Structure 1
Amino acid sequence: MQELPAQIEKLSKIYETRPLYFESKNYFYNLVVKIRTFLSPLALFLELKKIEFKMGRKKDLCLSDRPIDLDIVFYEDLRFSSAILKIPHPRALERAFVVIPTLEIEPDLREPVTGKKLCEIKQEREKEYLKQGIKALTEELKI
């Protein structure tokens, strides 16, 4: 992230979760980072893909274990869709490892498509999120 032309504003705790959508004996570590950047969404996306490549990520056609996965989940209140990028991330609300750490650093955030507060969405999906086995591993991270 230090390679990006961006300023880190907030970091969530690190969370451990089981993989979703595929079987693996491995767990994942997730966190949410709020940044300020002058990059457009597509330019930011391409910079994130460069970082993934440098860290050993291979081009996967299906979901699998990977050394790193960097996604743009929200970009202000933007709704954007192209062949390679959709904002908000289309599966963000399904994922406890996205919603819970996002709420930690942005408790009043509204999801741009539904207009609902993220805390309302968390409440509606609480049982679903509990099944995902999310666990905080750290205290609040400092920038």
Structure 2
Amino acid sequence: MLEEYGDEITLKSFSHTYLTEPQGEIKDQPWFTNQIIKLEIDAEIWAPSGFLSTCTAIEAKMGRQRQEPGGPRPLDMDIIAWGDLELESDFLTLPHPRAKERAFVLIPLKEVEPDFVFPDGTHIDEALNAIDYRMEDNKIWQD
């Protein structure tokens, strides 16, 4: 899908995929597959809000219907960070407001960016050490 954006968006790296038990209230559903991809995006062409709109359109093309939060879905694309930008609007908060609480974000993020530091100065290792989770092969459990 990135080919249609030419030089505007470049895939830099991507993590392995990880299986995560459903979080939140809806536990009776298939496990989620999570992956982090690192993109280089031309900031003169793309703003975070426009990129999020494109992600939402891709989700819809893949059959996502936004019904119940945390429910099953074929695809869920989130922007975790946009460089060191901090942003809070009605539809987008950067960095992602729950990224530091989620092993299924932090583990693959560390894989593609081992020295990642959140804009507040929190190193990815600090964030991982602050949460309770366990891993077995590519499966992640978190309470």
With normalisation by structure 1, the TM-score equals: 0.85
1:20: which partner in 2?
Answer: 23
State, as a whole percentage, how many aligned pairs show the same letter.
Answer: 34
2:74 aligned with 1:67, yes or no? Answer: yes
Read off the aligned partner of 1:45 and give its amino acid letter: L
Q: 1:34 aligns with which of 35, 38, 61?
A: 38
Number of aligned residue pairs: 132
Structure 1 residues 75 and 61: CA distance shift in structure 2, 3 A? same
Do 1:92 and 1:99's aligned partners in 2 also have CA atoms closer than 8 Å? yes
- Within 2, Cα distance between the matches of 1:79 and 1:70? 19
Structure 1 residues 134 and 97: CA distance shift in structure 2, 3 A? farther
Moved over 4 A (4+): none
Q: CA deviation at 1:59?
A: 2.1
Structure 1: segments with no counterpart, 5+ residues: 138-143
1:141: which partner in 2?
Answer: none
Structure 1 residues 123 and 72: CA distance shift in structure 2, 3 A? same
1:76: which partner in 2?
Answer: 83
> What is the RMSD computed on CA atoms of the aligned residues?
1.7
Greater relative contact order (Cα 8 A, min sep 6): structure 1 or 2?
A: 1
Q: How does 1:65-104 map to 2 (within 5 A)?
A: 65-104=72-111
Structure 2: segments with no counterpart, 5+ residues: none
Q: CA deviation at 1:91?
A: 1.0
Q: Deviations over 1:17-49 (max 9, x none)?
A: 101112123111100000011211001100000
Do 1:17 and 1:134's aligned partners in 2 also have CA atoms closer than 8 Å? no
Q: CA deviation at 1:55?
A: 0.2
